[in-house]
Amino acid sequence: MNVFVSLAEVFAKAGLAVLISDDRYFGESEGSPRQEISLWQQIGLSTCITYAGILPNIVRDSIGVWGISYGGVHALVWLLVLQVRE
């Protein structure tokens, strides 16, 4: 089982809503070139957060971001962007 799915199940059992995102060209996502890092990954994260914010039963002001390895860097950058916007 994918590590992301395993961790999502742990979070869900703790009562959290979970949305898994797989960056373009990484992991199980399709496309090439593989393992390419780009600004579009940050935009993809922004799109995921926006989507989560319009789902029913989701408290928009309580959305958190979490990642493993490079995904963790994305989470930190996104949090910094939020601090600048507020």
What is the tally of structural domains in the chain? 1
pLDDT at 55: 93
- Predicted pLDDT at 13: 94
How far is it, in rounded angstroms, from Cα 22 to Cα 43?
13
Predicted local distance difference test score (pLDDT) of residue 62 = 83
Give residue 80's Cα distance to chain centre: 15
Per-residue burial over 50-76, b = 16 or more CB atoms within 10 Å of its CB, e = otherwise: eebeeeeeeeeeebebebeeebeebbe
Q: Which domain holds residue 41?
A: 3-85
Task: Tally the residues of the chain.
Answer: 86
Give 27's Cβ-side CA count (13 Å radius).
16
The list of the chain residues with pLDDT below 50 reads none
The two tokens of residue 13 are: 């059992």
pLDDT at 56: 92
What's the pLDDT at 9?
Answer: 92
pTM: 0.66
